[in-house]
A = this chain, B = another copy of it.
Amino acid sequence: MFEFLHKKINETIDITDEQFEYAKTLFVPKQLGKKRLLLERGNTCIYTTFVGKGLLRSFTIDEKGNENILQFAMEGWWVGDLYSFLTDEASEYTIEALEDSQLLLITKPSWDLLLEKVPAFERYFRVLIQNNLIATQRRLMNTMTISAEERYIKLLQDFPDISQRVPQHMIASYIGVTRETLSRLRSQMASG
């Protein structure tokens, strides 16, 4: 799993083997079974986590009990509640494994240490967050400008395997509609 992390990091920055060996000491490997929680809302998000294998989702729950999915995190991605992680405040988000997953966790103190000792990580995280920002801005504009059907089509284009790995009602929640609406969209799309 560490090799995979190393590979992903090398896509953005160059670090020496010693530097990576040092980084390794700061991560805690964790195996998380399907339906288990990595973070429960109300708690502080004390880890930022790298997904080595598996699939997770982060979501909020509103007054009516509806789940609203912020993110799906697959192999090679990172998950966490950035705000809670940085400020130590209670998180609004719950993070749950949708498949048995293998994770690498890093705490805020270790993360600070990593940035201090290996400044190249500053760039790595900057690029990571940058790409996330670009994607989130796009998604925001999409929810404001295009129809549910178009958002669904775009999601399938961007993540072709998502419908094999994630139940429909979660996809509905990700694109911002009810399960009933997505079900109807799909049957229309199949016939038309």
Contact = CB atoms under 8 A, between A and B. Distances in A.
Interface residues of A, number: 28
Interface of A: 60, 62, 66, 68, 70, 82-83, 86, 115, 119, 122-123, 125-126, 129-130, 132-134, 136-137, 139-141, 143-145, 176
A126 B8 CA distance: 19
Contacts of A60: 141, 145
Number of copies: 2
A144 B176 contact: yes
Contacts of A123: 115, 122
Contact of A136 (B119, B130, B137): B137
A140 B143 CA distance: 8
